[in-house]
Chain A
Amino acid sequence: MQKFTTLTGVAAPLNMINVDTDMVIPKQFLTTIKRSGLGKGLFFEMRFDAKGKENPDFVLNKKPYRKAKILVAGDNFGCGSSREHAPWALLDFGIRCVIAPSFADIFYNNCFKNGILPVILPKKDVMRLMAAAEKGSNATFTVDLAGQTVAGPDGERITFDIDPFKKHCLLNGLDDIGLTLQHGKKIESFEDKQRASQPWLYR
């Protein structure tokens, strides 16, 4: 997994609540057996019309935001399915940070597994950043994970909270499986005990 330390880039405003994973990446892109190449399907139905032509009004089709690295959105971002294709599509497009007042649980977790930082901020801060992001290419944000801050174009730094372990793994690009396997002995002894007390779970 790619490390996440600091990120400076254009932030795209997506002022909508309940952005679901069907919107982020519709099902016709889920038949892939790979993780890569999903950027073309990102926000597909908003980005393109029925004939496959770009919708000029959609934020990511506007000039400054084509290179957006950060997305600012409304409440409950990423609700719906567990598809990890959603963070894969964001990543493939180049977005490595999503800022919102709240996220759906599974999507939030999936971000951390893919080097994407989801930042939760109070609504009033998100709305300020949303307004700043509307300024297009003049709106470069800097996100600093170690310092837990987001700085908008005016330079003011807003601090965010994050689980320390998730932060540690993201900062260092750690592979969870490798970490967990260090607990191999504990997993074995758990299984030994459980096999004795609930043998019906073992077949």
Chain B
Amino acid sequence: MKMMSMGALAALSLGSSSCTQAQMEEFLQKRFREMTEAEKKEVIQRLEETYLRKYGKKFGISTQPAGSGVLWGYGLDLSRCIGCRRCVYACVKENNQSRINPQLQWIRVVRLKKGSLINLENAEHYYNPETVPEPGFMYMPVQCQHCENPPCVRVCPVKATWKEPDGIVVVDYNWCIGCRYCMAACPYKGRVFNWSEPNIPADELNTDVHYLGNRPRMKNVVEKCTFCVQRVRNGRYPACVEACPTGARKFGNLLDPSSEIRYLIENKRVFRLKEDLNTEPKFYYFFSA
């Protein structure tokens, strides 16, 4: 019955236009969490073929699930951040964000006058000096905080976004209907929207991707930081951690008592952004000096 009605719907919306079988399959594709292993395999194969046709490049799409006993946490040392935005551009490159029109970035670094931290109304988003850091200012990078209690997940009308067992909040780009309710619900501006077909020069594409992470997206769907799910599930650091020239960015397993992130939480004075909203971010800011 379900298949029949979906088939009818498919026929209705695509019937008149000539469409390939791949398009039809994409239209009927299930939500990632409902797929069996065999179905996942089929989808991955189709996606790899589609990407090859579209970008002329061979992609490796992983569906690697979360490891057990892992809950990822992030630390950011505000006394070390110099506001250079290297993390921003490393992220764009690693995660295949659209470069122009729209230019999407998952990390936003804001410049704050020293003396004011909580009131972001005076934050400068588009600071552009010759050199950083500038005297009298501090810098605060903000990205998806991977809340334990994520308001974006709660509001999604079709469950296209969810929290993985290792705590990463992900989006199924093929299930998102583009209503942007999650963007309205996020208190951290952690989500950005593909207002048009993403523009990425073919030679800058990262072909080492995860289905729930940095695979190329399509127009009119939402996307966000995934802590570089394609990397961290393979024992690597997120690209922003690697790119930071001052070592301000820390990453690790919150469930591992000997991890660096646990050390920081226990020994530094950490705080989380907008804690009063009870979103329980797994993104900890601290001052080492």
Decide if A and B are genuine partners: no
- Which residues in A have some Cβ–Cβ distance to B below 8 Å? none
Chain B interface residues (CB < 8 Å from chain A): none
